[in-house]
Amino acid sequence: MDSPLLHHLVVALTAFVVTAGITPVVVRLARRLGALDHPGDGRRVHTRAVPTLGGLAMLAGVLAALAVAWALGGPFAPLFASTSEPVALLVGALVIVLVGVADDLVGLPPTVKLAGQIVAALGVVLFGMQLVYVWVPGVEIVALSSDLGLVVTILALVAMINAVNLIDGLDGLAAGVCVIAALAFFAFSVATEGSGIRETLVPSSATLIAAVVAGIGAGFLVHNWHPARIFMGDTGAMLLGLLLGAAGVSYTARSTSPSNTDFYGSIPLLVPVLVLAIPFLDSAFAVVRRALQRRPLATGDRGHLHHLLIAFGHSHRRAVLVLYYWSALLAFGSVGPTFVPMVRLLPWLLVAAGVGLALTALGTQARGEDTAPEAGTRPGTRDDGAPPAPPRRRTTA
């Protein structure tokens, strides 16, 4: 098995199988612990109690995938032998999952959760994954001091964590968007690393992390597609955000030449942001909206993109698929110039954007099967017939 792509496929399949296989166990564990997300406020679109803590299954997928990558060697051997990036990834993942579990079980104050996110990001940095220098148009290489690099890296990771967390509002939405982003980023990284277009001083874990994210996201979708049998909770959303952020940091941190001669290569740090354009746009709108309304940034509302699509008339599934479409268009459109000249790509992007606008405009009030309670389940009750517990927040959004 000499092909690097085949090695990455094995890692992704491992993450997929383990995550999908462990998730039913996590469902039972969540029910036993009382980790259920109950309907009960205006932001929730589900009508029955749903187990959460799905991020635990994702963590199992991450651990299994990294173990398989280490055992396979091949293109991963230099990464494990000459860098501590896999250790940094494990430390950050374990810390962010602990924070997420605590939040899903008892509901942490926003400041405490933010502190936990910073600690997880700090763990990633201290164990060897940090921005060292970046490319800026007209300036070329800008070296970052260790202190400045630490701060910038932590800010980037925390921003990515919260971008994914904020979009986790519909069944299958966050997982699917992260799979799309990971696939686009994987394609971009494979096309630029080791090709003479982009050189690195040491091996990068970017492609490995992207493969892992694609695998755990797809594996979780088996159980999270509407109607979801489990939610990922903050445990899973923050884990996905940290992993994608780490992939971007690893890719960008030590590049010694731009990844392309155009805009995308001049600022490679933008690539991870562009492939997650939908979560970042949603986060930006949320910050502006709440600032204009003079509301705390951590206060939830129904102004997110997925809420607006449902309010416009889309069913639950259709709203998710519309956001999948836009995510794919923005993600693959962003990395497309690496493969196809912009002059040839632009007309296709404009046509695809027109199709997207048409799909978005085709709202309908016929949402029957997507919003009706499942048979035998009354809104506001647990599946076991017990009285409803105090509502849990599905996300901080």
Cis peptide preceding 227, ω within 30 of 0: yes
> What's the token pair of residue 108?
């942490």
- 224 annotated as a binding-site residue: no
* H/E element, 391: none
What type of residue sits at position 189?
A: S
Please name which of 205, 218, 207, 208 lies closest in space to residue 178, comparing C-alpha atoms.
Answer: 218
Q: What are the residues whose beta carbons fall under 8 Å from the beta carbon of 281, sequence distance 6 or more?
A: 305
Helix 4-33, helix 173-192: angle, nearest 10: 160
Cis peptide preceding 4, ω within 30 of 0: no
- 384 annotated as a binding-site residue: no
As separate numbers, helices (DSSP H) first and strands (DSSP E) second, the chain gives: 16, 4
CB 360 within 8 A of CB 322: yes
- CA dihedral sign, ordered 137, 142, 148, 149: positive
* H/E element, 53: none
Binding site listing for Mg(2+) = 165, 234
Binding site listing = 165, 234
